[in-house]
């Protein structure tokens, strides 16, 4: 019996010593996603739930200097994200009388007509006219749509060369009703107008579009006033989009997210990558990323105490 016990102990010891090498992030923090690995050490492993067990200790180490942050403030000037909805099916019905936990504020509906831009009246960013839609692209670009034109914006102004005609760049006659970009690694953009919608991957219209809204987004009405998209908490969660028309709103749940392997087939989405990286940060890190380096740990503590009092 003892003769059998000793080999068994040695075998278990060999297995135990081999596991840490297979599951460790030591020396792997910069290698990116490797499909053949049993666990991952890339910057999206937290979101996908695929991190090695020592990922936090090995790859999430931070500088102790107070003036050093994971992402410099100037890297957060642009945010973006999106994805496709071929397998979209689940939708909530419109909310006419929301309960206390669901409040809906009446959003102004867009006018039915748009003043034409003539040779005598040029399109100006700060003309006071309402915009039809805003969206971010996956590369961080921010776009504002109004009438037949659209602008690309930074944090202070429109970029040089704008406005441009929507039909010249997007292939859609303006004005549009709404635009959203899904917040996942693929970051696909959707533009809605009337009873149809268009989908774009990295700024290029996907084939077989436009499609009818009732086909791709079941139960969502035509001629919507506005829309925005929210990310999922993690890979097992649901991305959502909210659509507004008159005094009603609809919640739509995307049924699928791209896998980590599928993400490798397209350039990464800036906003989604940052969103995923923030999920495991402390609240001090998150506040500093959102509000800048002036928001110190003291401010965070002060905010927490005020929040409890409220």
Strands (E), the chain: 88-91, 133-136, 142-146, 149-153, 164-165, 178-181, 189-193, 196-201, 204-205, 211-212, 226-230, 240-245, 248-254
pTM listed for this prediction = 0.60
pLDDT at 1: 53
pLDDT at 3: 56
Provide the total of helices (H) and of strands (E) in the chain, helices listed first.
Answer: 9, 13
Q: How many C-beta atoms surround the C-beta of residue 204 within 10 A?
A: 8
Contact by Cβ (8 Å): 78, 140: yes
Q: What is the largest CA-CA distance in the chain?
A: 100
CATH superfamily of 133-291: Hemopexin-like domain (2.110.10.10)
Whether the pLDDT of residue 305 is over 80: the answer is no
Confidence bin at 279 (pLDDT 50/70/90): low
Own/partner contacts of 127-133, CB < 8 Å, gap of 24 or more, are 132/174, 132/175, 132/176, 132/177, 132/178, 133/176, 133/177, 133/178, 133/179, 133/191, 133/226, 133/227
Three-class DSSP labels, 62-77: CCCCCCCCCCCHHHHC
pLDDT at 121: 43
Q: What confidence tens digit (pLDDT) does each residue in 247-273 have?
A: 999 999 998 888 888 888 778 788 787
Instruction: Quote the DSSP letter at residue 40.
Output: B
Contact by Cβ (8 Å): 266, 252: no
192, HSE (Cβ side, Cα atoms, 13 Å): 28
- In this structure, of 174-178, 213-217, 279-283, 300-304, the range with the lowest mean pLDDT score is 300-304
Which CATH code of 4.10.410, 3.40.190, 2.60.120, 3.30.200 fits the domain covering 23-62?
A: 4.10.410
pLDDT at 150: 93
Gap between the Cα atoms of 232 and 219, Å rounded: 21
Q: How many C-beta atoms surround the C-beta of residue 119 within 10 A?
A: 5
Contact by Cβ (8 Å): 190, 254: no
Q: What confidence tens digit (pLDDT) does each residue in 224-252 have?
A: 999 999 988 888 888 999 999 999 999 99
Q: What confidence tens digit (pLDDT) does each residue in 139-187 have?
A: 888 999 999 999 988 888 888 889 999 999 999 998 999 999 998 888 9
pLDDT at 235: 82
pLDDT at 205: 94
- Whose tokens are 């739930």? That residue is 49
pLDDT at 164: 93
pLDDT at 136: 86
Q: What confidence tens digit (pLDDT) does each residue in 113-128 have?
A: 334 444 434 677 787 7
Length of the chain in terms of residues written: 310
pLDDT at 145: 95
Query: What SS3 state is found at 88?
Result: strand
Confidence bin at 2 (pLDDT 50/70/90): low
Whether the pLDDT of residue 283 is over 60: the answer is no
User: CA separation (Å) from 12 to 8, 9, 16, 78, 221?
Assistant: 6, 5, 6, 51, 61
- In this structure, of 36-40, 84-88, 218-222, the range with the lowest mean pLDDT score is 84-88
Confidence bin at 41 (pLDDT 50/70/90): confident
Phi, psi dihedrals of residue 233, rounded to the nearest 5°: -65, -35
Q: What confidence tens digit (pLDDT) does each residue in 174-230 have?
A: 899 999 999 888 899 999 999 999 999 988 999 999 999 999 999 999 999 999 999
Within 8 A by CB and 6+ apart from 19, the residues are none
Per-domain boundaries in the chain: 23-62, 133-291
């Amino acid at each position: 019996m003892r003769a059998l016990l000793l080999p068994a102990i040695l075998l278990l010891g060999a297995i135990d010593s081999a596991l840490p090498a297979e599951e460790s992030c030591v020396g792997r923090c910069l290698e990116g996603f490797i499909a053949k690995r049993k666990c991952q050490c890339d910057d999206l492993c937290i979101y996908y739930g695929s991190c090695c067990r020592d990922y936090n200790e090995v790859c999430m180490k931070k500088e102790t200097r107070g003036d050093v942050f994971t992402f410099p403030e100037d890297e957060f000037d642009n945010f973006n994200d999106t994805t496709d909805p071929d397998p979209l099916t689940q939708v909530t019905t419109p909310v006419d009388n929301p309960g206390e936990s669901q409040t809906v504020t009446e959003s102004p509906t867009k006018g039915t007509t748009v003043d034409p831009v003539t040779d005598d009246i040029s399109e100006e960013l700060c003309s006071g006219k309402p915009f039809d839609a805003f969206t971010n692209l996956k590369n961080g670009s921010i776009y504002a749509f109004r009438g037949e034109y659209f602008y690309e914006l930074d944090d202070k102004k429109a970029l040089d060369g704008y406005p441009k005609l929507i039909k010249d760049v997007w292939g859609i006659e303006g004005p549009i009703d709404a635009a959203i970009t899904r917040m996942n690694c693929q970051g696909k953009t959707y533009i809605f107008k009337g009873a149809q919608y268009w989908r774009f991957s990295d700024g290029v219209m996907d084939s077989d579009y436009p499609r009818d809204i009732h086909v791709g987004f079941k139960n969502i009405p035509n001629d919507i006033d506005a829309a925005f998209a929210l990310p999922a908490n993690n890979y097992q969660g649901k991305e959502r989009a909210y659509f507004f028309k008159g005094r009603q709103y609809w919640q739509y749940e995307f049924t699928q997210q791209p896998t980590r392997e599928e993400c490798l087939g397209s350039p990464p989405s800036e906003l989604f990558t940052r969103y995923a990286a923030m999920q495991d940060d402390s609240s001090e890190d998150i506040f500093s990323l959102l509000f800048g380096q002036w928001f110190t740990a003291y401010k965070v503590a002060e905010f927490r105490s005020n929040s409890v009092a409220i």
